[in-house]
Structure 1
Amino acid sequence: MRYACFVIVTCIIFSLVCCKIFETRCKLVRELVKVGIPQHLFLGQWVCLIEKVSNRDTKAFVVTPSGKKFYGLYQIPSRWCREGKKGGDCNIACESLLDDDIRDDTACAVNIFHEEGFKYWTQWTNRCKNDNHITTEIYKCPDLMSRRSNPESPLQSENLRVKRKLSRVGMERSRASSYYGLQ
């Protein structure tokens, strides 16, 4: 009985030490913002993607029956990295996508996003594309709420309001011009 308890405790400690699983969305959001994902870059969509493809586990590694390999938090395919040394489209070693430092993983994922968009990840298309629930939830995280209520925030929201108003005015003018046949 003691041996069984020892084995269970050892396994739990090993799993906590060897890999980083973000237990909550807020912890994941905090880390994403810390490593540099801009909040305006679809933060909720990134969180949804990470949850659906890797369950927030930095050590996630999948080999499909066809032999394709996917690495880390974002399940980045081997096209973007090279095993054993730097390479691929992100110029990164695939093994570095499996460690707890998510800066390089995030940089590569953002690179993929800029080239291909979220549609590159089929899990995002199938499970996140039209779902804004996670986006709504993450903005309840204390870190994001405090950032939204800081002194700079009213200025940002005022800028956003002005941009929206100018956009609406431009759309109304465009509709009126086309309706009346004006150039």
Structure 2
Amino acid sequence: MRELASKRMRELASKRVSVQESARVSEQESMSVSEYKRLCLVKHESNYRYDVVGTNSNGSKDYGIFQMNSNYFCGRPSGTSSSTCWRVNTYGCADSCTSFTNSDISNDANCAVRVKNCGGFGKWYGWRNHCSNVQGSEYDYSTC
């Protein structure tokens, strides 16, 4: 019954996560409130949409609000839930890629935090191209 209710809620939910929800979930997953740059990343990777699937020139796909890449961070048979960097960098997260395209972004944020903690945001093109020099004030939604 819970699964049916959850499915119905996802059907009713908007495909876009609010900025406040993104900040709240990221904060719960151990990202400091002072790390406003993560909101810049989400803005430029998915425009705050959790249902986005992007195809790259090498055939890999990026999934969800953080655009987690199928070659590195999801859908891998030996994916890990560990925070140990060599495991995250070698095996990716223990999530199916499609699990990053539903309205529950907590697993997305958990994986993104572990990837970020093991090498920074530089693994994302949205970060490199738009966010690495952002001071953060335009992404400070702490008063919302």
TM-score (norm 2): 0.72
| Residue-pair matches, total | 123
Matches within 5 A, 1:23-172: 23=18, 25-33=19-27, 35-40=28-33, 42-78=34-70, 79-82=72-75, 87=79, 88-132=91-135, 135-143=136-144
Q: Does the Cα contact within 8 Å between 2:55 and 2:61 map onto a contact in 1?
A: yes
Looking at structure 2, the residues matched to 67 and 53 of structure 1 have their Cα atoms a distance apart, in angstroms, of 17
Looking at structure 1, the residues matched to 43 and 14 of structure 2 have their Cα atoms a distance apart, in angstroms, of 16
The letter for the 2-side match of 1:122 is: Y
Identity %: 25
- Superposed displacement of residue 74, structure 1: 0.4
The letter for the 2-side match of 1:30 is: R
- Superposed displacement of residue 139, structure 1: 3.5
**SS at the partner of 2:111?**
helix
Looking at structure 2, the residues matched to 31 and 110 of structure 1 have their Cα atoms a distance apart, in angstroms, of 11
**SS at the partner of 1:62?**
strand
Aligned equivalent of 1:17: 12
Compare CA radii of gyration and give the structure with the larger one: 1
Looking at structure 2, the residues matched to 27 and 112 of structure 1 have their Cα atoms a distance apart, in angstroms, of 20
Q: Does the Cα contact within 8 Å between 1:29 and 1:47 map onto a contact in 2?
A: yes
Q: Which has the higher helix share?
A: 1
C-alpha distance 63-18 of structure 1, shift in aligned 2 (>3 A): farther
Looking at structure 1, the residues matched to 53 and 131 of structure 2 have their Cα atoms a distance apart, in angstroms, of 21
Q: Does the Cα contact within 8 Å between 1:86 and 1:93 map onto a contact in 2?
A: no
| Poorly superposed stretches of 4+, deviation over 6 Å | none
Aligned equivalent of 2:86: none
The structure, 1 or 2, with the larger RCO (C-alpha pairs under 8 Å, 6+ apart) is 2
Q: What CA RMSD, in Å, does the superposition of the two structures yield over aligned residues?
A: 2.5
Looking at structure 2, the residues matched to 114 and 141 of structure 1 have their Cα atoms a distance apart, in angstroms, of 22
Question: Runs of 5+ in structure 1 lacking a partner?
Answer: 1-14, 144-183
Question: Runs of 5+ in structure 2 lacking a partner?
Answer: 1-9, 80-90
